[in-house]
Structure 1
Amino acid sequence: MFNIHRTQIKQLEQGLLNNYYLRQVANEYTQVVTLKCRQGGNEHYWKSIFIHLPNTQQLYFRDYMSLSVTKIHHILSFVPKVNLLDIQYCDLITNAGNTIEIFNNITELNLLWTDFSLDAIKQLFQSIPQLVTVNLGANHNRKPLENDLALQVMSEVCPNIERLSISLQQVSENTLCRLLTVYGYQLALLSIRCEGTQVIKRISQCAKRLQHLIIRHSGCNKNDVTDILRECESLSHFAMVSWPIQEVPSVVLDRMRDQVEGIRKTFALDRNDLEEIRRLCLYQEQEI
């Protein structure tokens, strides 16, 4: 793994150029590269370094106050085996007039505390359409509605997502429902904030193949997850985070009674819990 620092980047370039052993080791064994703006901003060295790192599979960007999608594309063009792109504490921008480059090898994207313009996130999603795993963490939300619109763009250009985690602020219930309609039938993992009863309903209707589900309570009322417990038969892990006790189905409370403390609780159900709860739900239906 390489963490590229400004004070060492010239030395690294010279080492790769002149030291056969270093060049061979870097070529064969480097799989993870992290670029930090305040330490590794000498872009004119990138090509001479990355051509010696052809087996890089994970690329991390950190602390870029202005990270252009074009810059990301430029680096990706030197490392064709990268399948994971991770961007944290950055601000994504775009350069007008640039053509979209496509990188079909990238299947996983992580964004955390990263703001973006709509044009920038659209350009990024368009360039990595084969995403399977997407983790969109919280950001500073400096641009109103951009988070919500970004998810709409993602649903239009990235059709293969199977594992989706969303912690972005100010995402509407309608947008979450749209995502569940688009991706639900293929989702194996989902982690979202519950923004209303329609989200829960849509999960039970469209995401029946889910294996791993995390729902974070957002303060809305009357969130009955019974249909999820009944319909999503493939679930092996189901967590309700910060869930009000009064909104937890009785079959769940009975199963988790010894763990219940306080007004709000995170309920984590494993495969055995879910199978027993599902059996009780079906039994109650038969009695009715």
Structure 2
Amino acid sequence: MSSAELAIETHSLSKKFGHQAAVSNLALAVPRGSVFGFLGPNGSGKTTTIRMLLGLSAATAGEIAVLGRSIPDAAAHVLPRVGALVEGPAFYPFLSGRENLRRFDTANRHAPSSTRSARVEAALDRVGLSHAAGKAAHAYSLGMKQRLGLANALLTPRDLLVLDEPTNGLDPQGTREVRSLIRSLASDGTTIFLSSHLLAEVEQVCSHVAVMSTGRLVAQGSLDELRAQGSERVAVNTPDVAEARRVFAVLGLSPDSDRDDHLSAELPRGVPAEAVTAALVRANVRVRGLTVEGASLEDRFVALTGEGFDVAE
């Protein structure tokens, strides 16, 4: 993919704190118009990377291009086209949500004052906070503050939106609304760079994914490509479990789920599901059902990082 097709591109990007490497030789390629999931366990370097992309932290080495321009050199030209919600929003506690947005918009020298009121109201409406716009920010719940942070990122049109854990603190309904908002923004052509620890969120809204582990990029590509790199699984429902287990052993399959009428295993490379079906038939195993599943994103994450993942909504 050419540089012109990328919203974010990094080469050999590294960040050290003393002798500790937080990010090492990172080569990101975020396609324009994509919803890009940035995954990794806590401490894997995600937030450090985001801070470097936004010019909030200087890289120790490497290159960054955002919307085709070098960061930090062209930050003043690029960042007005970038909205961001990083490490939780902070607000003036005794100002209302509406007043906070007006104050932030006033501080943006690129934002036209003539349309300020209309843009503030539109942003509040888009994140579902119109009903609480006059309420003091200190009285907002964590989820409401998260929404207000999103509203701030949407005060002016953005080519790129960088979101660090955007559904943090939201209830299930709020989470669904943020997903819908992300899809809407993406359909309008905005590139979304989404850091999250919620696998369900990433699988439902992202088109592309990158996985970090201990400061290094271990995989990136489209969601389908990442899943395809994993092994398929086969599950058999049969009253002849003992015989089916012997067939699995001949084929080199190691069952990881073995119940009275159910057997499942990961398919080794070179063993198609059709071979399992044929072997079961030859052995006169009564098959009530056979399903084949591709690797889930969770399977790939664990295989790549060796760590579990929080998949809760």
TM-score normalised to structure 1 length: 0.30
TM-score normalised to structure 2 length: 0.28
Q: Which has the larger radius of gyration?
A: 2
Higher RCO, 1 or 2 (CA under 8 Å, sep at least 6)?
Answer: 2
